[in-house]
Amino acid sequence: MDWDKLRIFHAVADAGSLTHAGEALHLSQSAVSRQIRALEESLGTTLFHRHARGLILTEQGELLFDATSSMNRRLETAAARIRDSEEEVFGELRVTTTTGFGTLWLAPRLVKLYDKYPDLKIDLMLEERVLDLPMREADVAIRMKEPSQADLIRRRLMNIRMCLYATPDYLDRAGRPAGVEDLSHHRLISQNPTTPQVTAGAALVESLLANDIRSTLTVNNYYGVLQGVLYNLGIGVLPDYLTEDFPTLERVLPAIESSDVPVFLAYPEELRHSKRVAAFRDFVMEEIIAYRKRRIDDSGQ
């Protein structure tokens, strides 16, 4: 097959429009249309259904698009490897993690990585949806559970737990609960158990809400929960890694906590030799080791 025609076909299938594909490829609509017709003639089949709203792939077109998508991902991986210098770390690295961990733990520490590699470009994608690493939706993931795909390199970073926290100002004003039954006199700030989150956190919130909590504030990520706590709105269910960066937070009812939540770093096997991935992995591991050491030192005091 003609590689150039396949490239144009992939752009049209991805855009769903001759016009938009032409803009992306810097070609006229007529030139794109001619290449698609020529490809269809060479294959002896129709690749698109044409209608007023755009183009829809035929069954044969879907098969070809699957093939060109796979080729495109492999080419992107090859290009990334080629751009990785033996001496330098530069270029784009797409990192995905949860909104809470990304905003509250990872982002504040990235200045150290940029200081070491000023030409690195990080695309930080924060969402609860688990992006598909083998399909190259991201290069590296930090997730709150072990990845299920077999063709990923994974590293367990640490365990975290969800606990109850509030500010001393709030507790001085509203009182410190002596038992779980006292939570009915406070506002509970948490994620709604039905929103995407770690199972252990949802289970803890469900158990707390079973105690006739009169007032609640639910937010769909831990960053929002933290803001509610910091502004003295009530007692929040938050991950325990926050205590290092927010040491003034006071633990409430220390006996109440979730089960362990494992934190994993993962990336595709094909990026094993990527300098950018190695730089990010080593940076995260160094930060985790330092974080663990400080927690051990603090607990020993």
Digitized pLDDT (tens) for each residue of the chain, 301 residues in all: 688 899 999 999 998 888 888 888 889 989 999 999 999 999 999 999 987 777 899 999 999 999 998 888 888 777 766 665 545 677 889 999 999 999 999 999 999 999 999 989 999 999 888 888 878 889 999 999 888 877 899 999 999 999 999 999 999 999 999 999 999 999 999 998 888 788 899 999 999 999 889 899 999 999 999 999 999 999 999 999 988 899 999 999 999 999 999 999 999 988 888 889 999 999 999 999 988 888 777 766 5
Could you give phi then psi for residue 61, rounded to 5 degrees? Answer: -65, -40
The CA-atom distances, in angstroms, between 176 and each of 252, 258, 287 are: 7, 20, 33
Give the distance from CA 252 to its chain's centroid.
29
Dig out the tokens for 201 from the structure. 């956190």
pTM above 0.85, yes or no: no
- pLDDT given for residue 82 in this prediction: 66
The conformation of residue 130, written as its DSSP 8-state character, comes to -
Residue 198: predicted pLDDT? 84
Q: How far apart are alpha carbons 209 and 295 in whole angstroms? A: 30
pLDDT at residue 87 in the model? 52
Burial 54-68 (b: 16+ CB within 10 A, else e): ebebeeebeebbeeb
Q: Which residue has the tokens 């009169």?
A: 214
48: nearest Cα among 84, 87, 20, 9:
9
Give the pair of three-digit tokens for residue 262: 């494992």
Q: Residue 210: which residues within 8 A CB-CB, separation 6 or more?
A: none
In angstroms, the CA 236 to CA 115 distance is 34
Question: Are 94 and 139 spatial neighbours (Cβ–Cβ below 8 Å)?
Answer: yes
Q: At how many degrees (to 10) do helices 29-43 and 18-25 cross?
A: 110
Predicted pLDDT at 266: 95
The answer to whether the CB of 19 falls within 8 A of the CB of 31 is no
| Residue of 178, 176, 187, 190 whose CA lies nearest to 214 | 187
Which residues lie closer than 8 Å to 300 by C-beta, 6 or more apart? none
Instruction: Tell me the sheet residues that pair with 91.
Output: 120
* Helix 3-15 with 29-43: angle, nearest 10 deg: 110
